[in-house]
């Protein structure tokens, strides 16, 4: 376990250098001690915000971003409802579009709802993800550190569940309305791949796909491992 003096020294250095790699190594060690996490949550959160702000180009407030996500979900629902009446040529394409819109909207909303229920706050929305355009929530790291590992894991898992649910809804809509086979097959494959990818992040990282370190599943399993370590200590 780290000593207070060691944490103080590293934080003092990081406040000047904002070295991201060193910062996350320190956070990983601090999280293993509830007293240290409680004591340094605000200071760590300030450094996290400073590091993030250096590369954040676009930010949207929580209220505005959430309203946009709810509107997007409503549009997706309407598209799913009316897709069968739009003709054979558009039926499948509209359901595919609606499914992606629903995934985009529900994922951050699920994080937000679960996080708030578990005491984790968020600062704003920003574009991120593989394409760097997906709406993503920036967590208030002080509240994240103060939450229990299982609460942090649950918040991450909520987003995964929402994405899988949205894909399932799209697949069922395509199947039940007899959409063209390309749409049904595409959504079935997406549902399968999405589920497999979300629940095998550690394996994918070991295989060299380091990008999965940023996935919700990898972060959730990391927090659950931390919980096991703490329970054994």
Place of tokens 């760097």: 132
Torsions phi, psi for 59 (to 5 deg): -135, 140
pLDDT at 218: 83
Inter-CA distances, 90 with 74, 175, 181, Å? 19, 15, 13
pTM flag (> 0.85): yes
pLDDT at 212: 59
The domain ranges of the chain are: 1-55, 58-232
pLDDT at 201: 63
The counts of H helices and E strands in the chain are 10, 3
pLDDT at 90: 92
CA 9 – CA 14 distance, rounded (Å): 9
Dihedral sign, CA of 80, 62, 195, 131?
positive
Inter-CA distances, 201 with 92, 102, 135, 168, 220, Å? 31, 23, 21, 21, 10
pLDDT at 217: 83
pLDDT at 144: 96
Inter-CA distances, 135 with 56, 187, 189, 221, Å? 13, 22, 24, 23
Q: Which residue has the higher pLDDT, 204 or 60?
A: 60
pLDDT at 205: 57
Q: What is the pLDDT of residues 101-160, one digit of tens each?
A: 999 999 999 999 999 999 999 999 998 866 677 899 999 999 999 999 999 999 999 999
Q: What is the pLDDT of residues 171-229, one digit of tens each?
A: 999 999 999 999 999 999 999 888 877 766 666 556 555 565 677 888 888 898 888 87
Radius of gyration of the chain (CA): 20
CA 134 – CA 128 distance, rounded (Å): 5
Top mean pLDDT of 21-35, 46-60, 137-151 is at 137-151
- Res. 62 pLDDT band, cuts 50 70 90: very high
Neighbouring CB atoms inside 10 A of 125's CB total: 22
């Amino acid at each position: 376990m780290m000593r207070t003096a060691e944490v103080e020294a590293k934080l003092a250095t990081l406040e000047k250098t904002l070295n991201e790699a060193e910062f996350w190594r320190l956070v990983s060690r601090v999280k293993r001690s509830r007293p240290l996490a409680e004591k340094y949550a605000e200071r760590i959160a300030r450094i996290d915000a400073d590091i993030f702000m250096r590369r954040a180009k676009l930010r949207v407030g929580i209220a505005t971003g959430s309203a946009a996500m709810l509107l997007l979900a409503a549009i997706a629902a309407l598209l799913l409802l009316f897709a069968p009446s739009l003709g054979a040529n558009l039926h499948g394409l509209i359901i595919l579009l609606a499914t992606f819109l629903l995934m985009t909207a529900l994922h951050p909303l699920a994080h937000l709802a679960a996080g708030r229920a578990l005491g984790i706050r968020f600062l704003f929305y920003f574009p991120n993800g593989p394409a760097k355009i997906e709406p993503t929530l920036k967590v208030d790291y002080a509240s994240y550190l103060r939450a229990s590992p299982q609460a942090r894991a649950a918040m991450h898992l909520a987003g995964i569940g929402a994405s899988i649910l949205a894909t399932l809804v799209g697949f069922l809509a395509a199947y039940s309305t007899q959409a063209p086979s390309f749409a049904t097959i595409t959504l079935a494959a997406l549902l399968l791949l999405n589920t497999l990818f979300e629940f095998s992040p550690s394996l994918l990282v070991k295989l060299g796909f380091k990008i999965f370190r940023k996935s919700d599943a990898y972060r959730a399993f990391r927090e659950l491992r931390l919980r096991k370590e703490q329970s054994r200590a």
